[in-house]
Amino acid sequence: MIMAREYKSFEEIDQHLSVLKLQREIDQENLKLNFYKAKVDLAPSKLLQGLGTTFSESRTWKNVLVLFIAKKVLGILRKRNRKEIQE
């Protein structure tokens, strides 16, 4: 619950409004900075670097390579099968 604030003069009101305006500007700049950091962290090159580190640490590169080659070989075999069936 927000408590109503009592002011004794217009100067106090102006001062409080100035503080609120500055806080708003600071929050906007923080939002911009966080957006920029998220944008940089989610950039494709950054994601690939992170994946490369993960793969190299856990020896997953070998698994990925084997999976890639297996998919390619299976694709070639399926194409040959389809051609043979159609003829």
With a cut of 80, say whether residue 27 has pLDDT above it. Answer: yes
pTM (predicted TM-score)? 0.48
Can you give the pLDDT at residue 58? 57
Select the more confidently predicted residue: 25 or 3.
25
Q: 9: which 2 tokens?
A: 């003069």
The DSSP code sequence of 66-82 is HHHHHHHHHHHHHHHHH
**What percent of the chain is predicted at pLDDT more than 70?**
70
User: What letter would DSSP give residue 2?
Assistant: P
Q: Is the pLDDT of residue 6 over 70?
A: yes
